Amino acid sequence: MTEIIVRTDVPYAVTVGGGVSRRLPELIRCADGAGTFALVSDNTVIGLYGDRVTALLEKTGKRVVPYVFPHGEGSKNGSEFLGILDFLARSSLTRDDYVVALGGGVTGDLAGFAASAYMRGIGFIQIPTTLLAAVDSSVGGKTAIDLPSGKNLAGSFYQPSAVICDTDFLDTLPPEVFSDGCAEVIKYGVLGNEKLLRHVTEKGTGFDREYVISECVRMKADIVSADEREHGVRTLLNLGHTLAHAIEKVSG
């Protein structure tokens, strides 16, 4: 198990390793004052890990209410965002409660933006289940939805209180989704981690997950700690993203 601290205004830990989700109750002590967890996930991930994560959250003695949306980027929109806000209100969440994002980048972005907006901001925990979310989107506090005019055009900088990355959750990823996360790993290598780049070049997709994810998160934590709101060095983390967003937009 590896723990990396992200030194933002309120520092938080990213915990990475095989089976770390079993330690969820102790890793989310930040939420001791909460009464309810709203578990936000998509209809693929909830079937794979929903029961397990719900049982672990319930071990803390708190109420768990699930919000499930259709899998895919198409759900990262204004109506799903408002749907979550309304669900949080109907479930009587208060400012002491927490949103828990269980899933990939879409889930983290959508749930995080909702957590930042509901009652002007309630607690937020990320449990990434894709490689892309593990190495990049679950860390650093960027949350967003897409607008008809472009990707990620509405959102907030809103840091989670904890990120729990169980590398075993990557076992169920389709190969093309795993590859899409590998591109993000290569980004970190290209941004100045020769050892990491050499490791993934040698091992291919059979790389040491805890080592690779921890290295990427450590690099991201350093950059985000220096430039939380992307006025300078953080733009490095967009390497490849801007072009890819344009390709996504024009290709539909």
* Contact residues: ligand GLY, CB under 6 A: 136-137, 140, 142, 234, 237-238
Q: From the CA atom positions of the chain, what is the Rg in Å? A: 17
Q: Do the strands 150-157 and 162-166 form a parallel or antiparallel pair, or are they unpaired?
A: unpaired
- Do 171 and 140 meet the contact criterion of CB atoms below 8 Å apart? no
Q: Which is nearer to ligand GLY, 122 or 217 (CB)?
A: 217
Q: Which is nearer to ligand GLY, 130 or 137 (CB)?
A: 137
The dihedral sign for the CA sequence 203, 205, 209, 214 = positive
| CA distances, 223 to each of 3, 15, 130, 229 (Å) | 17, 18, 22, 10
Taking the complex as a whole, how short is the minimal distance between the CB of residue 237 and ligand GLY, in angstroms? 4
Residue nearest to ligand GLY (CB): 237
Q: Which is nearer to ligand GLY, 92 or 238 (CB)?
A: 238
Transcribe 186-220 into DSSP letters: HHHHHTT-HHHHHHHHHHGGG--HHHHHHHHHHHH
Q: Which is nearer to ligand GLY, 38 or 237 (CB)?
A: 237
Taking the complex as a whole, how short is the minimal distance between the CB of residue 241 and ligand GLY, in angstroms? 6
What amino acid is encoded at 95 in this protein?
R
Q: Which is nearer to ligand GLY, 36 or 193 (CB)?
A: 193
Taking the complex as a whole, how short is the minimal distance between the CB of residue 166 and ligand GLY, in angstroms? 21
Q: Strands, E, within the chain: which ranges?
A: 2-6, 12-17, 36-42, 63-69, 98-103, 123-128, 142-147, 150-157, 162-166
Taking the complex as a whole, how short is the minimal distance between the CB of residue 25 and ligand GLY, in angstroms? 28
Give the pair of three-digit tokens for residue 196.
């990491």
Taking the complex as a whole, how short is the minimal distance between the CB of residue 22 and ligand GLY, in angstroms? 28
Taking the complex as a whole, how short is the minimal distance between the CB of residue 185 and ligand GLY, in angstroms? 13
Q: Which is nearer to ligand GLY, 136 or 166 (CB)?
A: 136
Cβ-based burial of 156 (10 A; exposed 0-12, middle 13-18, buried ≥19): middle
